[in-house]
Amino acid sequence: MYKATTHEIEVAVEPFYLEEQSDPEDCRYVWGYQITVTNHSDKRVQLINRYWNITDGNGLVDEISGKGVVGEEPFIEPNGSYEYSSGCPLDTPSGIMFGTYQFQTDDGALFDVAIPAFSLDLPDQKRVLN
């Protein structure tokens, strides 16, 4: 589990390898990740934008940004949490991801929250050399 807290918003990430969606012989490796965002502040916040930096094992960087997460722009109440799962395909058996979420308070203030860097690595017994 990887965690970071910014402006009283905690982001916890748990990545996992999706063997059934991967095809190492075709250089396709797929990971899922479960994210929990917890609001430790005393204000309701809304997650309105995301930015991801995804780097594969060859150093190729893919940057992704857009509205919300998984088609939602969730509100998170004080001391509340929001969870979602998503995934990431790579052409290499390892990589790293990190990013930011942009939040807005009910009074319109915008702020960014760090998504901690987390590694995407095959389980040791499944490591495949290219």
Contact 99, 110 (CB under 8 A): no
Instruction: Report pLDDT digits (tens) over 45-97.
Output: 999 999 999 999 999 999 999 999 999 999 999 999 999 999 999 999 999 99
What is the 3-state secondary structure of 88-123? EEECCCEEEEEEEEEEEECCCCEEEEEEEEEEEECC
Residue 51 CB coordination number (10 Å) = 15
Residue 130 lies in a domain: no
Q: How confident is the model at residue 126 (pLDDT cuts 50, 70, 90)?
A: very low
CATH number, domain with residue 42:
2.60.40.1470
pLDDT at 130 over 70: no
pLDDT of residue 73: 97
pTM as predicted: 0.90
Q: DSSP for 24-57, please give it.
A: GGGTBEEEEEEEEEEE-SSS-EEEEEEEEEEEET
Residue 101 lies in a domain: yes
Residue 71 lies in a domain: yes
Q: Quote the number of domains for the chain.
A: 1
Q: How confident is the model at residue 125 (pLDDT cuts 50, 70, 90)?
A: very low
Q: Tell how strand 81-90 and strand 29-39 pair up.
A: antiparallel
Domain that holds residue 19: 2-117
Mean per-residue pLDDT of the chain: 94
Residue 54 tokens read as 């995804």
